[in-house]
Amino acid sequence: RLKIWDCPQITEKTLIAIEKYTPGLISLSLQRLPSLFAIRIESILGNSYRPLRLGQLQRLNVSENIQCKEIAVQSRRLTQASLHHNPELSQLTLECQALEMLDLSYCTNFNKEALLKAISNYQFTPYLNILSTTVDSISLQFISQYGPHH
């Protein structure tokens, strides 16, 4: 398990080291990191990127990161993604087959389109928290009826 909290110097380059040196990591918590704009790994080729690849990761907590706009993670075993209180979060890519819980509460910039894109690769999660996002009940109804796995 790795917890990184209240460290203003942590950036995306730190995540590259985490991926490289802790491939067996099962729990990662990144909280209150003001220099973190995106949780993903930049590609050397232009603006493209790939998800942070932590194949054994089961629990991810990314919260209270006021600058974080994008999260992209790939893990076959991820069951819990707690991404609450990231007010700028607007893009989410989770390549995870085992996801059971997704908490997006207080991600005030997160909308219906972002949610639809985020859930397009897997079945709707049994627990989804979207409190204080811009996803409304009509959007949820639309997603449940006409979404990717209706």
- For range 3-25, the mean pLDDT: 86
Higher pLDDT, 96 or 60: 60
Q: What is the mean pLDDT of the chain?
A: 81
SS3 72: strand
Q: What is the pTM of this model?
A: 0.83
Higher-confidence position of 43 and 116:
116
Q: In the chain, pLDDT over 70 holds for what percent of residues?
A: 81
The better pLDDT of the pair 101, 41 is held by 101
Determine the Cα angle at 11 with ends 96 and 17, to 5°. 65
Average pLDDT over residues 97-114: 90
pLDDT confidence bin for 11, thresholds 50/70/90: confident
**Mean local confidence (pLDDT), 84-109:** 90
Cα–Cα distance, 118 to 96 (Å, whole number): 11
For the stretch 128-141, pLDDT in tens is 888 999 887 766 66
Whole-number pLDDT of residue 45: 42
**Amino acid present at 16:** I
Q: Is the pLDDT of residue 74 over 70?
A: yes
